[in-house]
Structure 1
């Protein structure tokens, strides 16, 4: 796996907008905007998701002091076929556009790509947009909401919302300093009702490579936060490191944070492209700004499965990308 160090990639702003279930969770009072339904006051779930993505992008641009017409580069991801939401939203801006897909690892992939381009080209600023919707994801990967299919206790719920991060070359108090691009790992996992388990192996591989390649160790970070392993996947990840004689005491998972699991009946927790951004750009970002954290390693995890492959009894590959936010 390839790891990188960055010298001049700074965070200009972040934004996070969220759906009704997320609003009622632990991060609820930290979101820039929330919505009363999955439809965001629109006629369809798709239009609602598009509205959330546009709102998050516009809020981040305004916070960064950039033209609302768009940044130089827009990197965007969602869970719809052909990145339909991101592509539709991108048509509203003048920005050069990169649509990316690593399932729920896409937010980190976008940050890493933007950081590489900022450090190695004449681009001055880039915005990374990460969006998911419970309604559209259920229809895409499982069953339409109208079916009312019962869920197993190992299930994670796709987070509804959108997060945006604006990166630039001008100095701010927070910067991207490290990153590792993961590889696809297929552990032979076939249980579509437990994505956290499938992704835990990819998280282990990427984090281990990150530490080895850059000469760091888990205790160098105030927090190591994974994207959406939730309860089961997080336990597997920690057990995998214990087998190597490494006990990680500073780990948490965005899927465990985003909901009050028992009170909100969120099964094993949250998942989705927006899961990590909605936690990282609120709770984690706030602690970095307040100097409660100095250095945080964020690892976004993605299950690269397709419903057709699943019906053919094929296993589910997974991937994890990670990056570090550090106080300058």
Structure 2
């Protein structure tokens, strides 16, 4: 089949590579989000998918909005049979969905109908799911509600961050997407409606959502930090300044600390929660590089009784 691939971030690149390697399909172009400012200099840089497409010598379409007439005209001229999608990042209008004869087929990183939305992996970790997966489905106008072609499952490991889990799903999902394209081409796959039961939503996790509530149980704090790593990054405050948390671990043998209260010894920094303490792994003070929590604590000289989360209200207003 003639394919136009739509995707933007790094997690979409394995699927593009899998389709480029296929001897049954031809990727004639990619659709990706426009170049975006990055780094301290805010220089415009292409998306990872655009970079990979440039390496492969494939045409790159970067519409600001996928309903632009120029984009739709070019898509019609390319005459794709199907448009596979992985984390493109923009809503596709009905007029675009109708152009390829076999539609737009999305690789979504959950077991639909669970976790429809922008942040399925993060919400699976927040909820404590033991198993998640990926799904290929035909895109309709509803949010992640179209009929399903194929699924794969993936066990959630106790130490997984959203970055860890998404990396594995992106690699495994690339094979699922390629197999889905094969099945659509030869007619061996038919899309099946999603079950009406078991629908859950996974909206984008904001910076405000990533602020740690130290009054929550330790298990919740652990899940939140892992779900928000690497983005948007779990955080708290200390002495009124933001402190990012890159890792925590449960310390059930240690109690007696108030929520957010710190206890420091030579090798360990513990913080109280609504249940038992957690041990801080790596932290990142505002304007500095990540460092082991013990090094941070020595540098700031934590005093007895000091707490994390001492200025969260003011910090939440500053999302820079």
- Asked whether the two chains share a fold, i.e. TM above 0.5, the reply is no
Structure showing greater Rg:
2
Query: Which one scores higher on RCO, CA 8 angstroms, separation ≥ 6?
Result: 1
TM-score (norm 2): 0.30
Instruction: Report which of the two has the higher share of helix.
Output: 1
